[in-house]
Chain A
Amino acid sequence: KAGVTQTPRYLIKTRGQQVTLSCSPISGHRSVSWYQQTPGQGLQFLFEYFSETQRNKGNFPGRFSGRQFSNSRSEMNVSTLELGDSALYLCASRPAFDSYEQYFGPGTRLTVT
């Protein structure tokens, strides 16, 4: 099976802009989670989607949003970008909501200037 794919892999944006990142889970996986990784804060949970519904949400402002489509692909959007949003954004999928092991994609490196 193909692994989790994320597009784009690298992105440079300017403060105030918005950005959309995409994640395709492993075929058959219905749960998709998003994480932000920065040197200062480490890996932080953003949100999780299962069957097109947001099931869990982390402590991030409303500028961070996401959605999941019927084919389990997911997108996350960040509006009004700030310098502090520069990070590696990781997507992970798992087969079911009660599966524990997560399969991570390679990440999208977002740089905000």
Chain B
Amino acid sequence: SQQGEEDPQALSIQEGENATMNCSYKTSINNLQWYRQNSGRGLVHLILIRSNEREKHSGRLRVTLDTSKKSSSLLITASRAADTASYFCATDAQGAQKLVFGQGTRLTINP
């Protein structure tokens, strides 16, 4: 079963706009990660945020974590066509040491 739920399930924006995806999870976590997947291929790690962090940046990516609401958001600024992909949040539940993925958000960047 999935630990997290992501919304929206699909997002279509124009190139240059910002894209925001949200993830909610159910149990206490050690950390939360975001991964990208291009068209049925392997996943690529984007960013990790620990449970004691509230915000983290990496290039055009900004991730926030609210452990009281058990939610996270991923913001991609100044989107590019190459950002078209599915984005997944994954949690490492405390004591479990295995990744549990959300259903993903399918992001389409229109040129």
Q: Does B72 contact A (CB under 8 A)?
A: no
Q: Does B85 contact A (CB under 8 A)?
A: no
Number of A positions contacting B (CB below 8 A)? 26
- In angstroms, how far is the closest chain A Cβ from the Cβ of B23? 13
Please name all residues of chain A whose beta carbon is closer than 8 Å to the beta carbon of B101 when the two chains form the complex: 35, 42-44
Q: Does B20 contact A (CB under 8 A)?
A: no
Q: Which residue of B lies closest to A103 (CB)?
A: B45
Interface centre among B45, B102, B103 (most CB of A within 10 A): B45
- In angstroms, how far is the closest chain A Cβ from the Cβ of B21? 15
Chain B: number of interface residues, binned into ranges: 20 to 34
Please name all residues of chain B whose beta carbon is closer than 8 Å to the beta carbon of A43 when the two chains form the complex: 88, 101, 104
**How many angstroms between the C-alpha atoms of A106 and B104 in the bound complex?**
18
Q: Which residue of B lies closest to A46 (CB)?
A: B98
Is the Cβ of A107 less than 8 Å from the Cβ of B41? yes
Q: What are 16 of the A-B contact pairs (CB < 8 Å)?
A: A35-B99, A42-B103, A42-B104, A43-B88, A43-B104, A44-B101, A48-B98, A59-B1, A90-B42, A98-B97, A100-B92, A101-B45, A103-B45, A104-B43, A106-B42, A109-B40
Chain B interfacial positions (CB closer than 8 Å to A): 1-2, 30-31, 33, 35, 40-45, 48, 88, 92, 96-104
